[in-house]
Structure 1
Amino acid sequence: MRLQAPIIRHTITLNDDRKQASPGTRILTSFAVALGAMALFGAIAYILPGFSAPIGPSGIPSHVSTDPSNLPYYALRSVFRMFIALVFSLIFAFVYGLAAARSKRLGTVLIPLLDILQSVPILGFLSATISIWLVIFPGSILGVEAASIFAIFTSQAWNMAFSFYNSLTTEPSDLDEAVRILRLTRWQRFWKLDVPNSMIPLLWNCMMSVGGGWFFLTASEMISVNNRTLTLPGIGSYVEEAAGEQNLGRVGLAILTMIIVVVLIDFVLWKPLTAWAEKFRLTQNQSSEPRRSLVLTVLRLSGINDQLARLGRPISYALDRITRPLGRTGARWKVQSRKSRAGDLIWYILVGLACLWGIWELFDLIKTTVGYGEVGHALLLGCLTFIRVVVLMVICSLIWVPIGAIIGMNPKISRILQPVVQILASFPANFIFPFITLIFVAWKIDINWGSIFLMALGTQWYILFNVIAGASAIPDDLLEMSRSLKQTTWQRWKTLILPAVFSSWCTGGITAAGGAWNASIVSEVVTYGKTELTAKGLGAYIAQFTATGDMTRVMVGVVVMSVFVVAVDRLFWTPMQSLARRRYALN
């Protein structure tokens, strides 16, 4: 007997559109899907040769052409990099989040490590890994492509892992108990409860991850490390070149191309996925305004989902049998044995010793190279950047929490504003930095304060998207109950809406804060042609020494940034998440 998914799904009464559709409509939709698949594979075949091209006699290029005719090809290259990184980020989120949530020992290491990883700027990752990728793929542009994709991955993966981990730790207790009573295997539980329960927030974080990838597109396509510049064809490197040439017209063409790309991605991918994910909402009532998507309707009418199900069913059965040795979901509560407690103690001792050894080696390296005074200087700069991050978080929370809740709860408003929000979030804000630089110079705005605005352009969306996801997952029956009780607007926000989105705000706040530290790298130093504005802060410090190849000082900056992020997480965000799980989970 095949086990059904033990999760309360949205009971939307869907008409069988495929049966009601005429034969001509079914043929037309099947043709449209086939044409779309051919276009997709054709585009991939068109750009793949460029990914494995050999390095020319003059070495790796340091410039790209700013001829506008190259923009479509550059856009395809950038989109391809983005979605390769997104696939790896999704796999990473599943594996990392599951390990952290299901293993108490691993969780004590993996979650603080995730805080550190999200605080490390992509320039730090590039400095440490670019040589490795070039050695793995010698004599080929593929090495630089792999470094670029890895850099985009580091701007996408962390918030997705946090989102999945948060969903696992806040699963409704009745559904958790159901899968234990049914004795599902761990593999079955993963696909029938863990993934469906996390689908809506994870999908919105995927959108945000793509937006984060666009934000750091310039840094990942025009890699400047160790006094070298490695440039790949892409829309990010095109904007950087056009800005260096002070050609605002071509920067404008790149922005227009970017808007077209973002709108197409929203229409073809995100809107169908958000409409499809509605079935994973925890509710027993039909939504009065279900989300719709033309692309999703065409896919359903074409019958491709049935064909894919027939192909996937044997694979699913085979994986079920293969994964049975991994064990079944056991009892909820187990008495910790003396042997288990001893194992925990040994684990914590080993982790503590490893941390002490790493700290000792780090301090020894700093002492013998730049001296401890450099650490104090970096800490002072870190305090300045920390003030900017705090101001940014407060302002963005006050603005975007109510807006995100309204968008998530109202399908009519969501249909209108969701594409706008996705376009704004996915649009790489640093593309307009040249224009903002001119405004700062013309209006004599101090970059030390103006950098807060630049950081917000790339990180405020983490809060908005997570709050939208949290609000859209509020059960309709709870909203209906609030209306039946005739609660005032303030009472509804105080007793239902804000508690329901509190956990999502925590997830968005953690990733937004980490993203703000990361964004300080490109926000505290902005240039247009020969005009450069530099703020005092840790981001500018890291950017400066990455460009000159001073890896010791880069490491000092990264370590100081990690200390700030982890300290704030332990002192503020961890208690907030604990409060969310204890009081505001939908159990």
Structure 2
Amino acid sequence: MNSQLGRGVIPLLSYFLLPVYALLSLLRMIIAYLFSLIFSLSIGILAAKNEKAEHIIIPLLDVLQSVPILSFLPIAIIFFINLFGPYIGAEISSIFLIFTSQVWNMTFGVYEAVKLIPRDLEEMVRVYRIGKFLYLRKILLPATMTKLIYNSAMSWGGGWFFLYASEIISLGNAQIPLPGIGSLLALSLAESPPRIDIAILSVLITMFLVSFTYLFIWRPLMEWSENFKYEYSAGEIKRKRVFEIPRVRIPPFLYRSFFRSLRYILRLPIRNYVAGFVSFVERRAGIIKKGTFLLLILFIAYSAMKIAPHITLEMPSSEYMGEPDLILIASLNSIRRVLTVLLISLSWTIPVSLLVGRGRHWDEFMLLFEIAASFPIPVLWPFLVKYIVLPLGDEGFEIAAIMLALFGAQFYVLFNSLAGVKSISSDLEEMRKVFLIRGSLYLRKLVIPGMFPSIVTGLITAWGGAWNSLIVAEYIKVGNEVFPSKRAQYGLGTLLSIAAWDRGDISSVIFITAVLTLIVITVNRAFWRFLYDYSAKFRVE
């Protein structure tokens, strides 16, 4: 493949292309989110309702969300490009990378929500022998709405975070910059001299898109999701919340041409069409299941035929296998940094969730968090290197690595904690007012127990986000200087980056990934599994 594949895109650094590139990036985000939504609902519900599947799916998801994208992205790129060609394969690879940054958080949210369905509802299903499709529509899907919508907002921001890395596909010495706001930012910074004006405009357009989607999609959906909290009080009839687009001060012609059209579309009898489609699926469930299975088999067979000629069977041999001391030190350093990130995340997200979740300025803070979660940290990386790493040396490297990993993890804890605060039923709030429960007793007996399952979900997804960010942050190369300079400071990310980028040693990449996978499985079995089981005690009954 020609190493100059991507050079034709660089002269197109133009203000006129910014809207077009922004729309292309938005389209990739939407496609990736739709696949994430389908995956999270199907796999999350299956894991929560099928005990045998749960023992396989949850450990596998823990591994997949924690194993850094650097480990499997080259393999995925080769797979898709060999299967669909360079450009279509690069597009699918980009969407796949965004998908992996969105889906795990959403899936764990669905799993947690279904596990916390009150037992009396489950008993009602058994007593009245409610059918599977009715059970899915009336019990399972409504139960997931609050967690799914809040986690979707977080995943949407996380997708923008990874978009900047996903729109430039590297394969050997070749680069395929896909047209999009992320590749435009990367190429503008790579120019000599850098096109700072294009870079700043790219970031501003991203912030606009994030703000727009929050105000007109996620905020109304969050309000609407309040309908699905479990309430048991009959003394007060609560007004049903609707999906309502907020009014904003914009030019009248824009409002007439766009927002009124959108309101009209939302008022169409969509429920009738959805009900008809669901009825059709119920009647043809057997045929659809067999057809889907057949298509999957055909795709696997076609993929095997296309990929088989490119596979060579070799015994993986890594030089790291002969250095167990280095692997142990690197593993301990990475675990120490990840735990530091989780503790810092908890230290500020829980108090902020308590203040914002019960405060009056919920919408303003949520918009701020959504923008912060999607901010492209690669833009700040040169400044971290210049003002922290280079002046402070190895101590600066520690600070910069933890800061970058913190940006990749803390918002998972924050958004899940906020969802936990909002999911506390108003019945419990009424009881608190009647019995005058307040202060520390209110926090210990009501708020923290109500938030605990969501905090556990946030920590698990933050654990994976911290590993993904840390793997990149643990290796910094500036000219001839490399950080960390001492082997005692090496982490698994350092070893993985050296193997992947400096040496092109696939065997070492596989070996380090296997070590990381072993760490993830061990922590999952020893700690996260215990926390998940313990959090089930706090379900609403």
Question: The TM-score by the shorter chain falls in which range?
Answer: 0.7 to 0.9
> Which of 61, 73, 82 is matched with 1:126 structurally?
73
Matched letter for residue 438 of structure 1: K
State the match for 1:397 in structure 2: 346
- Report the count of equivalent residues: 493
**Distance in 2, Cα, partners of 1:182 & 1:134:** 51
State the match for 2:461 in structure 1: 511
**Distance in 2, Cα, partners of 1:490 & 1:317:** 50
**Distance in 1, Cα, partners of 2:22 & 2:444:** 45
Alignment of 1:237-316 (within 5 A): 237-245=183-191, 246-283=194-231, 284=233, 293-295=244-246, 302=264, 304-316=266-278
> Which of 211, 220, 239 is matched with 2:166 structurally?
220
> Which of 384, 392, 396 is matched with 1:436 structurally?
384
Return closer, same or farther for 1:301/1:515 CA change in 2, 3 Å cut-off. closer
Matched letter for residue 543 of structure 1: S
Matched letter for residue 405 of structure 1: L
CA shift, 1:502, in A, is 0.3
Return closer, same or farther for 1:494/1:166 CA change in 2, 3 Å cut-off. same
CA shift, 1:428, in A, is 2.6
The answer on whether the counterparts of 1:433 and 1:526 sit within 8 Å (CA) in structure 2 is no
User: Is 1:417 aligned to 2:365, yes or no?
Assistant: yes
**Distance in 2, Cα, partners of 1:369 & 1:122:** 20
Alignment of 1:431-580 (within 5 A): 431-441=379-389, 444=392, 446-525=396-475, 536-547=490-501, 548-580=503-535
**Distance in 2, Cα, partners of 1:209 & 1:107:** 23
State the match for 1:71 in structure 2: 18
Matched letter for residue 368 of structure 2: V
The answer on whether the counterparts of 1:200 and 1:280 sit within 8 Å (CA) in structure 2 is yes
The answer on whether the counterparts of 2:390 and 2:396 sit within 8 Å (CA) in structure 1 is no
The answer on whether the counterparts of 1:88 and 1:153 sit within 8 Å (CA) in structure 2 is yes
State the match for 2:331 in structure 1: 382
The answer on whether the counterparts of 2:83 and 2:89 sit within 8 Å (CA) in structure 1 is yes
Return closer, same or farther for 1:523/1:461 CA change in 2, 3 Å cut-off. same
CA shift, 1:378, in A, is 3.3
Deviations 1:459-516 (A, max 9, x none): 1000000011111011112012112211231110000000000000000000001110
The answer on whether the counterparts of 2:221 and 2:243 sit within 8 Å (CA) in structure 1 is no
CA shift, 1:149, in A, is 0.7
**Distance in 2, Cα, partners of 1:538 & 1:117:** 16
Identity within the alignment, %:
31
Matched letter for residue 382 of structure 2: P
User: Is 1:201 aligned to 2:156, yes or no?
Assistant: no
SS at match of 2:269: helix
Return closer, same or farther for 1:261/1:325 CA change in 2, 3 Å cut-off. closer
Matched letter for residue 34 of structure 2: V
**Distance in 2, Cα, partners of 1:99 & 1:295:** 36
State the match for 1:426 in structure 2: 374
**Distance in 1, Cα, partners of 2:442 & 2:375:** 34
> Which of 317, 333, 357 is matched with 1:408 structurally?
357
State the match for 2:256 in structure 1: none
Return closer, same or farther for 1:529/1:197 CA change in 2, 3 Å cut-off. farther
CA shift, 1:104, in A, is 1.9
Return closer, same or farther for 1:531/1:370 CA change in 2, 3 Å cut-off. closer
The answer on whether the counterparts of 1:520 and 1:540 sit within 8 Å (CA) in structure 2 is no
The answer on whether the counterparts of 2:341 and 2:409 sit within 8 Å (CA) in structure 1 is no
Alignment of 1:54-93 (within 5 A): 59=5, 64=10, 65-93=12-40
State the match for 1:317 in structure 2: 279
SS at match of 1:229: strand
The answer on whether the counterparts of 2:385 and 2:400 sit within 8 Å (CA) in structure 1 is no
Matched letter for residue 539 of structure 1: G
State the match for 1:360 in structure 2: none
Deviations 1:143-184 (A, max 9, x none): 100011111111111121111111121111112222222322
Ranges in structure 1 where 5+ consecutive residues have no aligned partner: 1-54, 327-363
Alignment of 1:94-113 (within 5 A): 94-113=41-60
CA shift, 1:325, in A, is 10
**Distance in 2, Cα, partners of 1:466 & 1:304:** 28
**Distance in 1, Cα, partners of 2:513 & 2:449:** 35
CA shift, 1:294, in A, is 2.7
Return closer, same or farther for 1:239/1:503 CA change in 2, 3 Å cut-off. same
SS at match of 1:96: helix
**Distance in 2, Cα, partners of 1:414 & 1:67:** 38
Deviations 1:69-103 (A, max 9, x none): 33222222222111211111111112212222222
Return closer, same or farther for 1:301/1:227 CA change in 2, 3 Å cut-off. closer
Return closer, same or farther for 1:163/1:57 CA change in 2, 3 Å cut-off. closer
SS at match of 2:169: strand
**Distance in 1, Cα, partners of 2:150 & 2:129:** 31
**Distance in 1, Cα, partners of 2:32 & 2:89:** 15
Return closer, same or farther for 1:381/1:56 CA change in 2, 3 Å cut-off. closer
**Distance in 2, Cα, partners of 1:66 & 1:125:** 31
Return closer, same or farther for 1:301/1:228 CA change in 2, 3 Å cut-off. closer
Return closer, same or farther for 1:317/1:60 CA change in 2, 3 Å cut-off. same
Greater CA drift, 393-402 or 226-235:
226-235
State the match for 1:192 in structure 2: 138
The answer on whether the counterparts of 1:145 and 1:232 sit within 8 Å (CA) in structure 2 is yes
SS at match of 1:230: strand
The answer on whether the counterparts of 1:66 and 1:250 sit within 8 Å (CA) in structure 2 is yes
Greater CA drift, 82-91 or 301-310:
301-310
SS at match of 1:183: coil
CA shift, 1:320, in A, is 3.0
Deviations 1:94-142 (A, max 9, x none): 221222222222221111111111112122221112121112212x511
Alignment of 1:355-370 (within 5 A): 365-366=315-316, 368-370=317-319
**Distance in 1, Cα, partners of 2:335 & 2:84:** 39
RMSD: 3.0
SS at match of 2:361: helix
**Distance in 1, Cα, partners of 2:476 & 2:206:** 20
> Which of 87, 90, 105 is matched with 1:141 structurally?
87
CA shift, 1:299, in A, is 8.2
CA shift, 1:365, in A, is 4.1
SS at match of 2:409: helix
Matched letter for residue 47 of structure 2: A
CA shift, 1:519, in A, is 1.0
Return closer, same or farther for 1:78/1:300 CA change in 2, 3 Å cut-off. closer
SS at match of 2:436: coil
The answer on whether the counterparts of 2:219 and 2:363 sit within 8 Å (CA) in structure 1 is no
**Distance in 2, Cα, partners of 1:258 & 1:239:** 11
Ranges in structure 2 where 5+ consecutive residues have no aligned partner: 248-258, 289-313
Matched letter for residue 319 of structure 1: V
The answer on whether the counterparts of 2:44 and 2:110 sit within 8 Å (CA) in structure 1 is yes
Return closer, same or farther for 1:300/1:82 CA change in 2, 3 Å cut-off. closer
